[in-house]
Amino acid sequence: MSNMGAKTLLSHSFRIAWKDLTELFRNRLGLVLLILMPLFMMVMVGFIYPSNGTVNNLQVGLVNEDSGFNNITLPSQSFIMGLQQINNQTHMLIITNVSSVADIRDMVQKGDLEGGIIIPSNFSTSIMTGQQGTLIIVSDESNPQISATIQGVLKTVFDEMGTAIAQQKVQALNVTNTLAVVKPFNVQTQGIVSGNPTYFDFIAPGIMAMTVMMSVMTGLPVAISQEKEIGTMDGMMVAPINRLSIILGKTLGQTARGLIQGIIILILAVGLFGVAIQGSILLVFALLLLGVFSFVGLGIVITSFTKDQETAQMLMMTLMFPMMFLSGVFFPIQQMPWYMQDISKILPLTYASDALRRVMVLGAGIPAISTDLIVLIVFGAVMIAIAVPVFRRMMTR
């Protein structure tokens, strides 16, 4: 293409992008939704997802069946006292006294309780006769996640109480550091950057990458099929312009829209949810643009195959959901079964959100994310190479 042609192509593209953005900014409801969508996404995903160790107010029933050892029930009573003491500090549980094991089952079935603790009849006897005291945790199998959480919480509580009791016993042996004897290993976790990242730090980069890339992938087919439907596309098509400037202009417009949303998410993440950006903010934007680039071709291909807005939107929903959940935006890829992990490896969003997360959370520079960069560039280039001829053919039907 000659220099002159390229200049005209670009100038026409800018006119089209300008037109699209003017329309966007004059659509008040559209603008409000543009801001609300990422806000809802952050709030919903950020607050609903259980962050580590912050479980509160689980409804737990307590059955004390301890029959005592020679009428002494000291071990079970001190256990209950200890449990309440720890819970008063952490507020993990709401403990209700229940008279029998059958009642616990009833209440779990009704949904009044999420689990239960049973102190068996031989509890005091076992402890007083120098044996292990057994405690039983009842869990609600209809809700595996809560069930696992209760088990974890109660095990932690029991563990702490067991440690306390062991420490008391060891003290009799005249040891200076009782904890070192009872629990010789102490584990500490340290991140590679300072601060204490939350789940928001994990999802904010992913949601940013997703919003910006989706805006191109979904916005492009919708914007073009809409113009085809209302007839304005004909107005552009009868002008002596290169067909590419239509798609380029539309892409520019959608990219701008996506970036605006991305910036809103960033502001919300930093201002409202306390997300800290460790890496370069310029690199963050460069990555968002690269994400757009990698998705443009895919968006154009989809555009070429959809005839009307309705189809475009339905196709988008079908593609968006697997992308959202398989690209590690909300859930770590490592949690998925191997075949899902394989699928996620062919999705460009996986690489974009991974790179963005490394930069934002870990403060990575370009060398550290080079694999992601290469994948995104290659994917984008290949898709565009496929898309351009497909689009040209579509436009001159």
Partner 1 sequence: MANASIIEVKNLTKMFNKFTAVDDISFDVKKGEIFGLLGPNGAGKSTILRMLSTLARPTKGTATIGGYDIVKDDTEVRTLIGIVSEKMIMYNRLTAKENLWFFGSLFNIPKDVLTKRIDELLELVQLTQWKNAQVGTFSTGMRQRMNVVRALLNMPQVLFLDEPTLGLDPQSSVEIREFIKKLNRENGATVVITTHMMVDADLLCDRIAIIDHGKIEALDTSANLKKIISGADTTIIKLSIPNLSSVLIENLQALKCADAVTQENSTELKILVHGDEAFDNIIDAIRANGGKISSMENLQPTLEDVFLHITGHQVRDSADQKTPNAHRHFGEAPRRVR
Chain residues binding partner 1 by CB under 8 A are 8, 11-12, 15, 19, 22-23, 26-27, 230-232, 234-241, 396-397
Angle CA 273–278–280, to nearest 5: 115
- Closer CB to partner 1, 173 or 238, in the complex: 238
User: Considering the complex, what minimum distance in angstroms separates the CB of residue 245 from partner 1?
Assistant: 8
- Closer CB to partner 1, 22 or 99, in the complex: 22
User: Considering the complex, what minimum distance in angstroms separates the CB of residue 2 from partner 1?
Assistant: 14
**Residue among 110, 122, 93, 104 nearest 63 (CA):** 104
User: Considering the complex, what minimum distance in angstroms separates the CB of residue 315 from partner 1?
Assistant: 19
User: Considering the complex, what minimum distance in angstroms separates the CB of residue 18 from partner 1?
Assistant: 8
* Phi, psi angle pair for 130, to nearest 5°: 75, 25
- Closer CB to partner 1, 47 or 305, in the complex: 305
User: Considering the complex, what minimum distance in angstroms separates the CB of residue 302 from partner 1?
Assistant: 21
User: Considering the complex, what minimum distance in angstroms separates the CB of residue 12 from partner 1?
Assistant: 6
- Closer CB to partner 1, 28 or 110, in the complex: 28
SS3 content of the chain, % helix, strand, coil (to 5): 70, 5, 25
Per-residue buried b or exposed e for 139-165, using 16+ beta carbons within 10 Å of the residue's own CB: bbeeeeebbebbeebbeebbeebeeeb
How far apart are alpha carbons 374 and 362 in whole angstroms?
Answer: 20
**Residue among 345, 250, 353, 257 nearest 299 (CA):** 250
β-pair partners for 63:
98, 118
Q: List alpha helices for 231-369, DSSP H.
A: 232-237, 243-271, 281-305, 309-326, 338-344, 348-362
In the Cβ-directed half-sphere of 290, how many Cα atoms lie within 13 Å? 24
- Closer CB to partner 1, 257 or 357, in the complex: 257
- Closer CB to partner 1, 27 or 371, in the complex: 27
User: Considering the complex, what minimum distance in angstroms separates the CB of residue 248 from partner 1?
Assistant: 13
How far apart are alpha carbons 291 and 209 in whole angstroms?
Answer: 7
- Closer CB to partner 1, 15 or 105, in the complex: 15
Q: List alpha helices for 91-135, DSSP H.
A: 101-110, 123-128
Instruction: Give the strand pairing for 115-119 and 58-64.
Output: parallel
